A and B are shown apart, each in its own frame.
Chain A
């Protein structure tokens, strides 16, 4: 029979071990991808177009496609998401309408991305073809917009809620209107937090693949407008790995993706720290 102390120590050792495994898995994945992929990274890898279905050449056109697609998606999602968050936190009280909106946002966040992709295919690619050009950057962005809207709304809501009530009261006491208070006091204070939410959205958009397979078209040509098909880096990685089996290109692309995600993470942490300083810390 083990003594109480021995049991206690054993249990804690197991927990430490589990945490260590979790961290090691992460280090293994990131380390492995970077080690395998970084040799492939060179200026020509970034600036050459893919050849032979992507098994040779670089990643120029997927890179351009990713930039177009990410910017357009965020241009759609950021204003609507922040607007919704401002409405939910500043312009309304808890009531049936707010409950329904919150429920819909939660439900949307829970819908699998492939189902959103099916919807995007049926609605944006087929139904709205005259407007979106069928498989195109616009269709892909609108689909991704539906997917990341909840992320942006929730993060912005949290950031706005974190602004102390005294700020609003001070502004109103000075005679500013509700709208002026929101625009010139609340939003600037919450901005680092809101940007963190937007960056979270960017990360998800860059990493997402399944709905884009159905809406973005996957063309290897450089897109000239948002009405043309394109492919993103994640899509490129999947298609190259599955269709050509050329793992060196896939690893190079994966390394680029991982580096971008690392940078986004770093940026959002810096912003978060700034938010904490601005609203007086927790």
Chain B
């Protein structure tokens, strides 16, 4: 069953002014429950805007978005940002609890479980300022999973980290996702990362339209060093190069 359905979505900034600019145009796709979908594309193609619209932080100009919850109640969303966005005055555990809807034993236990999964049980009482950037981002990931979201949105969560830390966190994310099987929409400009993590890649082109919807049918867990992963990464990169070439000749895209 589709958790997220988007139909003919468009977003224009500064509507009705001379500075009006359309960043998303006629976006339609759906995301089935338990899948990991990546949205890739060059800078400025509207990836993060699309995520903000899905989360409700930003309004869309036209089109429909529907979110379905397994529980029948209102759908819950988790969000992992580019930067950790932790409250500096609250401990790690209190940051986890801040986004929860209740303070029950079960909720506290769930927060502890996800902290353990990212290897930060011993740091539960630390303030964010006492942790490294990578550790803070791990708290951000644990926080998002701990709300037991129907849909988990991730906006380039590893882009601010060094290569080695990012690699470790990608492996950790794959493990957590394999255990939780949450529905994930993951924005990245890194095709290699998208192939390693996703079941499906939606490629956005400049102007905010969908260029291609690619299914990644590879066994998990995946590692970048795996030859089949590397081959597919090269193939997807080739398609992106084609898209860029077409974008340079506007009539071809139209």
Bound pair (A, B): no
**Chain B residues within CB distance 8 Å of chain A:** none
**Chain A residues within CB distance 8 Å of chain B:** none
